Structure 1
Amino acid sequence: MSKKTSLNYKKSGVNIDTGNILTKRIKDMTKKTNRSEIIGKIGGFGALCCIPNKYHEPILVSTTDGVGTKLKLATDFMQHNCIGIDLVAMCVNDIVIYNAEPLFFLDYYASNKLDINIATTIITSIIEGCKQANCSLVGGETAEMPDIYHGKNYDLAGFCVGIAERSKIIDGSKVEVNDALIALGSNGVHSNGFSLIRKILKNTKTNPKTIVFNNRPLIDYLLKPTKIYVKNILKLIKKNNIHAIAHITGGGFFENIPRVLPNDKKAIIDSSSWKWPTIFKWIQQEGQISNDEMYKVFNCGVGMIIALPQNEINSAIKLLKTLGEKAWQIGVINNLSNLEKKRVIIY
């Protein structure tokens, strides 16, 4: 009979001590995101949060998301310093469209073997995203999962809770014919369509570090973090009568705009109102992708679309530009006839 080997958790591929070191390292960093409503500290079994006093009939708004295969590019080129901003942005941008302010955020980080330096870089960028969105990072989970993940690959997921005044929730129900549609410019690709982008890179044998646009390598354009619109949109809502807000994320124009429209309305988008940023032109050319497919997968330079009355176009755009946003009228709302199936028309 062969002698049995003495085993422990570390020998199976999981080092609990490494996770504890990471928790201690980030404890003080997370304090920079703390809102006054947060009770307790990082490291407990859960996070506690008070309801802000200013709300008369508070409604909680929650969302969860990930970063997708953009993580693969970050791993391949060892550029992890912005990926956490992407994670926060994908959640908080979904929350703010209801006129809700993000309260707190939790993350989930899973890998084959926890690399403290990489993890610290990622969580530092999550903290930066939370600061941009004015929400607290209240905790999370770090998991070592050998045989599920391999090499340096890892996955990220986020969960966010926000709060809105019930009477002031924006849900698209007030959208009317002739409402104007205002676009807010994106930072670039944001966090959608990267399986297609990576397929293009593979098929064309392109090294994104060697292709240069305007003195910057392609990889910098691809890994530029998703823009967080929370603070500026909340300021806009206080000054203007906003009827609907659509976050142009996974599913592009064709899936996201209809999500905030009444069933009998359609959006008419004027494609001549803006020029696609260089990165999208490159993606389309190298992948030989149709315009319809581009609008279906990517934001094409538009991060948010806002519906509001025609008489508020100028004031809204002026305010947004003052706040540093690239903003312009991109289209209008019209009735959807019984014979029409498309609820987004791009001409």
Structure 2
Amino acid sequence: MAESPTNPTDPYAAAGVDTAAGDLAVELMKASVRATHGPEVLGGVGGFAGLFDASALREFRRPLLATSTDGVGTKVAIAQAIDKHDTIGQDLVGMVVDDIVVVGAKPLFMTDYIACGKVVPHRIADIVRGIADACAATGTALVGGETAEHPGLLGPDDYDVAGAATGAVEADAVLGADLVRDGDAVIALSSSGLHSNGFSLVRHILSGAGLGYSDPAADLGATWGEALLEPTRLYTLPLLEVIERLPGAVHALSHVTGGGIAANLARVLPHGSWAEVDRATWTPDPVFRVLAEIAGTPIERTEGTWNLGIGFLAIVDGGQKDAVIAAVESQGIHAWQVGEVRLGAAPAGDFEQGAKGVDGGAVRLVGAYADGAR
């Protein structure tokens, strides 16, 4: 892998920071970043700030801006271990942009931040190319970013990624708990695997079993590294299409990330409501079952950590649930009903009550997971 030369007379280079490598990384990523730019993006790549023409917001009656920020977590350690960096960018966009669609907002633009121990231009370009490709797939302009070299703080092959995005939604079109009604159906949208959550547990399980990322993963048809780097599914455009196609059908959305299914669903239900998610309606993907078997733990013990095959949940009008499922499936994402929302006191039992500081509804998973494929 070619690297830019370091000037030995440059004191910053002597401290371990290679500005020439940073410049080369920018050159390598320019084309992929520009591919996300429509006429709303001004100034191109390399400015101190990205510019986005917000004139379209004049067409809104009362525009609200939605914003989200996140990272990818310890999944980056696997990308670094097997030297594969072209998918981690999609994970970042999935974690950031897909949080915006939860309120019904359309994403406008995103920025990224990469901190590394040493700028390796082609590695950085691979990461940003993945971010840009996923931005394009979600209708989001990548308007800027920063790559920071931190020698002495991070190892030469270490890096972390983070990002922030902004979207817009009409004030009277915001989705959320206040729209949820008694009898609403809870619809699951399938995940592509682990997405970007629970990797500290994954790494702990594999380390304890003496398994490396280059080892073959039983029943997964790949090495552990390849299987675990399956990128996060992107839900933004499919969900926006469903919202537009079926006005008023979708009442609330939940992105199933850290905390698992019950906690994330509870966040978007109103206080005084409850729902039971029926495990018998699906079979967790093989990666979850294999990891639980290696750990010697029932898969139910992982429900507060992994998505177990559900990447998003939609709370929809009960009379339109079949139409919503059909609309989601027409976008290439498997969908099915997992439960129903009820208002009033929850039955006796162990429910997850709200999460992340939200005084929301009560949720629990019931029954046993189905055997075989969904």
TM-score calculated relative to the size of structure 1: 0.95
Match of 2:258 among 241, 247, 250: 250
* Inter-CA distance 37–56: structure 2 relative to 1 (3 Å threshold): farther
Instruction: Please report how far the alpha carbon of residue 24 of structure 1 lies from its aligned counterpart in structure 2 after TM superposition.
Output: 2.3
Determine helix, strand or coil for the equivalent of 1:344: strand
Aligned length: 343
1 CA distance for matches of 2:279 and 2:218?
27
For 1:5-44, list aligned pairs within 5 A. 8-44=11-47
Structure 2 residue aligned with 1:104: 109
2 CA distance for matches of 1:300 and 1:108?
29
Instruction: Please report how far the alpha carbon of residue 190 of structure 1 lies from its aligned counterpart in structure 2 after TM superposition.
Output: 0.2
Q: Is the 8 A contact 1:97 1:245 kept in 2?
A: yes
Instruction: Please report how far the alpha carbon of residue 46 of structure 1 lies from its aligned counterpart in structure 2 after TM superposition.
Output: 0.6
For 1:156-235, list aligned pairs within 5 A. 156-209=161-214, 210-213=216-219, 215-235=221-241
Determine helix, strand or coil for the equivalent of 2:178: coil
* Inter-CA distance 326–219: structure 2 relative to 1 (3 Å threshold): same
For 1:130-141, list aligned pairs within 5 A. 130-141=135-146
Runs (5+) with no aligned partner, structure 2:
1-7, 353-361, 367-374
Identical aligned residues as a percent: 32
Instruction: Please report how far the alpha carbon of residue 215 of structure 1 lies from its aligned counterpart in structure 2 after TM superposition.
Output: 3.1
Instruction: Please report how far the alpha carbon of residue 208 of structure 1 lies from its aligned counterpart in structure 2 after TM superposition.
Output: 3.5
2 CA distance for matches of 1:230 and 1:6?
49
1 CA distance for matches of 2:322 and 2:203?
40
Structure 2 residue 340 is matched with structure 1 residue 332: yes
TM-score calculated relative to the size of structure 2: 0.88
1 CA distance for matches of 2:10 and 2:103?
52
Runs (5+) with no aligned partner, structure 1:
none
Taking only aligned residues, the RMSD between alpha carbons, in angstroms, comes to: 1.7
Instruction: Please report how far the alpha carbon of residue 217 of structure 1 lies from its aligned counterpart in structure 2 after TM superposition.
Output: 2.8
2 CA distance for matches of 1:346 and 1:256?
12
Cα deviations by residue, 1:86-141 (Å, 9 ceiling, x for unpaired): 01110011000111111111110111110111111111111111011110111101
Match of 1:307 among 302, 315, 319: 315
Amino acid of the structure 1 residue aligned with 2:25: L
Q: Is the 8 A contact 1:172 1:245 kept in 2?
A: no
Match of 1:60 among 59, 62, 65: 65
Q: Is the 8 A contact 1:181 1:333 kept in 2?
A: yes
Instruction: Point out the more displaced range, 10-19 or 212-221.
Output: 212-221
Structure 2 residue 292 is matched with structure 1 residue 284: yes
Determine helix, strand or coil for the equivalent of 1:142: strand
Structure 1 residue aligned with 2:84: 79
Instruction: Point out the more displaced range, 122-131 or 203-212.
Output: 203-212
Cα deviations by residue, 1:152-193 (Å, 9 ceiling, x for unpaired): 010100111111111101022111121100000000000000
Cα deviations by residue, 1:285-306 (Å, 9 ceiling, x for unpaired): 1113344431100000000000
Instruction: Please report how far the alpha carbon of residue 26 of structure 1 lies from its aligned counterpart in structure 2 after TM superposition.
Output: 1.9
Match of 1:70 among 58, 64, 75: 75
